[in-house]
Structure 1
Amino acid sequence: MNEASDLLLADHLKKLKLPTVLREYEKQARQCAAENKGHVPYLSRLIELELIDRERRMVERRIKAAKFPAPKSLDSFDFKAIAALNKVQVLELARCGWIERRENVIALGPSGTGKTHIALGLGLAACQRGLPVRFITAAALVHELIEARDEKRLLRLQKQMLAPKLLIIDELGFVPLSKTGAELLFELVSQRYERSSTLITSNLPFEEWTETFGSERLTGALLDRLTHHVSILEMNGESYRLGQSRKTTQKH
C-alpha cells in the first residue's frame, strides 16, 4: 500500500471506530503472509481482536460508571476466614442469574467480616457480564436523595438510581436515618422492587433495622419488598479485616 492509501484507510477506520484494526492490520498482514493464510483468516483475526478489545473497553467503562471505591474480585476473598459464608452460594451469585431474575441479595454480619468485599466482587462480576452497576453507601445515597429533594431534582436522581440493573447499597445500619431519609430510601427500594436488583450490606440483623429506619411500619414494608425474592449471605464471624491484617503482619 502507498502512503495515500494508508492515510485513507486510517481515516476510514477512525470514522468506523475500529482502533484495534487500525493498530493491528499491518502486523496481522505480515503474520498471515508468513503463515500463508488468505484474506478471510486475516480479516477474521482482525475482527476478533477488535471485538475482544471492544468488550474490554466496555467492561472498563461499566466499572468506572459503577463508582466502586476499589475494584475487588471474589478471587481475592479468603472464604476460609468466614466459615459462616456459603462459598458455593456466592459463586453461584457471581453468575448473575439473580440479576436477570430481578432478585435481591442481603449480606449481614458484624463490621469487618468482608461484606463490602463480597458486594464489590459481585458488582465486578456483573460488570464483566455486561450489566450496568452502581455502588454507593447508604449514608451517601440518603444524603444525595435529601439534597435532590431540597433542590427539586429528586425525580431525576431517582431515575438515575433506577437505571442500573444492580444497585449496591453498602453499610446500611451504621448511621440512623432521619425520618425523611428513611422515607426516601424506602421509596427508591420500592421503585426498584421487581424491576431491578438491589444488594444491601448491613452490620445489623433484620430485627434491629427499626433502629436505623425509626419506624416499625416502614421497616416492615421495606423488608417485605427486599426479602420477597432474596438470597441472604450470613457473614458472622471474626473480623475478616483483622485476620487479613494479622496475616500481613506475620509475613513481615
Structure 2
Amino acid sequence: MTRKRGLTEEAATASINQACRMLRLPTIRQQFKDQADGAAREQMSYRAFLTELLMAECDDRARRRSERRIRAAAFPREKSLRAFDFDANPNVDPATVNTLATCEWVKKGEPLCLIGDSGTGKSHLLIALGTEAAMQGFRVRYVLATKLVNELVEAADDKQLSKTIARYGRVDLLCIDELGYMELDRRGAELLFHVLTEREEKNSVAIASNESFSGWTKTFTDPRLCAAIVDRLTFNGSIIQTGTESYRLAHTKALAEQTAAD
C-alpha cells in the first residue's frame, strides 16, 4: 500500500478497507465509519476513538472464538443455564449450579455427575454447563455414552485406540450423556474405563446418568471395574441429583399457566 497525505473521504475509506483486509480486522472494517462519525459528534480524542475500535475488534474475536469452541463441542442442541427452570425442579440447588458455572471445577480437573430419572433436566444442565466452559475458553466435547463406546471398539479393531483416547484426552471437559441406558460387554466397559480414568489430571469429565451409582453395575457388570469408576468420579467431584419427577413436564406446565395468566 502507498501511504498518501490529504486523502479524500472516499480514498481514506478505501484505504482503511484495504488495510483491514490485509491485517484481518473484519470488525474494524465494518464499524470504523460509524465509530468515526460517532467520535466526531461526541468530540472524542484520537486515543478514545482508537480504544473503541480496538476493543470492538477484541470483543468480536472473543465472541467468534467462543462460538467455534461451542461448535467443536458438538452439542446436539442449544441449552443455557438461564433457560433452566429451577422452580420446575426444586431438587436442583441454584447456588450449586451457579458455583459450577464459574468452571473452577473444570480448571482443577474435577469430575461432575448428574444423576436422575429421564426428563429431570440432566442433559439440559450437562449441555448448559459444557457451554459455559466453552465460553470461558475451555475445550469441550459432548458425546453419548453408546456412541463413545462404539467409537472406541471400532478404533480398537482398527488399531487406532491410542489415537482415539488421546483425542478425547486433549479436551478440557468431556461431557458423556445417557450413561446407564445400556449394558456393556467386558470389552466395551474396559475401553470406557480407560477414557474415564486415564485422562490427565488437568482434564474434567461430566456424566449424566439415569441410574444411581448402585445401578451402574447394570452397565459395568464387573463389580471391581464399576467400583473403580465410581471412586474415580466421586473423588473430589460434584454430584447433582435431579430427582425422579419430570422437569420437562413441570416446566411445560408452568409455561402454559404463565401464558394463560398473561
TM-score normalised according to structure 2 size: 0.91
- Counterpart check, 1:104 vs 2:148: no
Cα distance in 2 between the residues matched to 1:177 and 1:76 = 34
The equivalent of 1:31 in structure 2 is 38
The equivalent of 2:210 in structure 1 is 203
The equivalent of 2:247 in structure 1 is 240
- Cα deviation, residue 244, structure 1: 2.9
Q: Which of residues 154, 157, 160 is equivalent to 1:153?
A: 160
Superposed CA RMSD? 1.7
Q: Which of residues 112, 125, 139 is equivalent to 1:132?
A: 139
**Fraction of identical pairs, as percent:** 40
My pick for the range that moved more, 193-202 or 242-251, is: 242-251
Cα distance in 1 between the residues matched to 2:171 and 2:23 = 28
- Paired residue secondary structure (1:77): coil
Map 1:181-200 onto structure 2 (within 5 A): 181-192=188-199, 194-200=201-207
In structure 2, relative to structure 1, the CA distance for the partners of 1:33 and 1:248 (3 Å cut) is closer
Cα distance in 1 between the residues matched to 2:22 and 2:81 = 39
The equivalent of 2:94 in structure 1 is 87
Q: Which amino acid aligns with 1:55?
A: A
Cα distance in 2 between the residues matched to 1:71 and 1:152 = 35
- Paired residue secondary structure (2:239): strand
The equivalent of 2:229 in structure 1 is 222
- Cα deviation, residue 123, structure 1: 0.8
- Cα deviation, residue 4, structure 1: 5.2
Length, aligned pairs only: 252
The equivalent of 2:4 in structure 1 is none
Q: Which amino acid aligns with 1:191?
A: E
The equivalent of 2:70 in structure 1 is 63
- Counterpart check, 1:123 vs 2:130: yes
The equivalent of 1:172 in structure 2 is 179
CA contact (8 A) 1:193 1:226 kept: no
What CA deviation, in whole Å up to 9, does each residue of 1:79-100 have, x standing for no partner? 1222222221111001111111
Cα distance in 2 between the residues matched to 1:82 and 1:33 = 53
Cα distance in 2 between the residues matched to 1:37 and 1:243 = 53
Q: Which of residues 76, 84, 102 is equivalent to 1:77?
A: 84
In structure 2, relative to structure 1, the CA distance for the partners of 1:249 and 1:29 (3 Å cut) is closer
List gaps (5 residues or longer) in structure 2: 1-6
Cα distance in 1 between the residues matched to 2:28 and 2:249 = 48
